[in-house]
Structures are given as C-alpha cells and as structure tokens.
Amino acid sequence: MGEAMTNQCQARVWTSGGFHSHQCQKPAKVKRDDMFYCRIHDPIEKAKKQKVRDQKWDAEWKAKQASWERSAIEQVFCHGTSTEDIQRLIDGNRPLRTILSEGFTLQRRK
Ligand SMILES: [Zn+2]
C-alpha cells in the first residue's frame, strides 16, 4: 500500500462489434488481486452496480408479476369480489393456483 498508482487499467475492453479486445487506456485507480483497474473496470464497483441492477430488475419483475396475477384474478372474479378480497387473495407469495382456488371458494359462498 502507499505506492503510486501510475499503472494503466488492465481490463480488456471489447470493441463495439465484439470481435476484438484491447487493454483499457485509462489510468488505474485501484488494485485488486495484483491487477490494476480504473474506476469503471474496478471489479468490486462493477459487482456493486450489477447488484443494484439485479435488485432493480427483481423489484420490477415482482411488480409486473403481481400486476399480471392481479389482472388474472380480476378477470376470473370480475364481478362480486371486492378490491379488499382481491388484495387479501394476492397478499403473500402464494402460487396463483392457490389464490384462484381460494377465490372460487369465496365466490361460491356468496
Ligand atoms: Zn479500465
């Protein structure tokens, strides 16, 4: 530690076509496992960003799935099922099959 970071980033950069790669031209800012990287190619930073992306994707996917399930439920029970009932049915991470069968039971009781 304490050494001057005058090294060049050692990451390989692929050209836009993806056929060739060359070494990154940026000066290194960090050292990881004896390899030097610029800020962009720092594997720890990249992993952090990837995690944020994954989490965002996950949240978006869950929201999408919830809305699909909701509209599937609404299509089956479009009349006679209150919003509260639908909300209660889709609460928790239960499989759609369970939700639908419970919904039918609910409908039959009316
Ligand atoms: Zn780089």
Query: Do both 106 and 77 map to the same domain?
Result: yes
Distance 56 CA to ligand 1 centre (A): 25
Query: Do both 66 and 100 map to the same domain?
Result: yes
Distance 22 CA to ligand 1 centre (A): 10
Query: Do both 48 and 29 map to the same domain?
Result: no
Beta carbons within 10 angstroms of residue 26's beta carbon:
15
Distance 46 CA to ligand 1 centre (A): 11
More confident residue, 24 or 91: 24
Query: Do both 37 and 89 map to the same domain?
Result: no
What's the structural domain count of the chain?
2
Residues whose beta carbons lie less than 5 angstroms from ion ligand 1: 9, 11, 24, 26, 38, 41
Query: Do both 4 and 34 map to the same domain?
Result: yes
Q: What is the pLDDT of residues 35-92, one digit of tens each?
A: 999 999 999 999 999 999 999 999 999 999 888 887 887 777 766 667 777 777 777 7
Q: Is 0.75 topped by the overall pTM?
A: no
Q: 76: domain range?
A: 43-110
Distance 15 CA to ligand 1 centre (A): 13
At residue 14, the 3 state secondary structure works out as: strand
Distance 57 CA to ligand 1 centre (A): 26
State the pLDDT at residue 76. 73
CA distances from 99 to 21, 40, 65, 109 (A): 51, 46, 14, 16
State the pLDDT at residue 100. 76
Query: Do both 95 and 58 map to the same domain?
Result: yes
Distance 36 CA to ligand 1 centre (A): 9
Query: Do both 19 and 29 map to the same domain?
Result: yes
Query: Do both 18 and 53 map to the same domain?
Result: no
Smallest Cα–Cα separation from 90: which of 70, 109, 60? 70
- d(CA 20, CA 15) in angstroms, rounded, equals 6
More confident residue, 47 or 1: 47
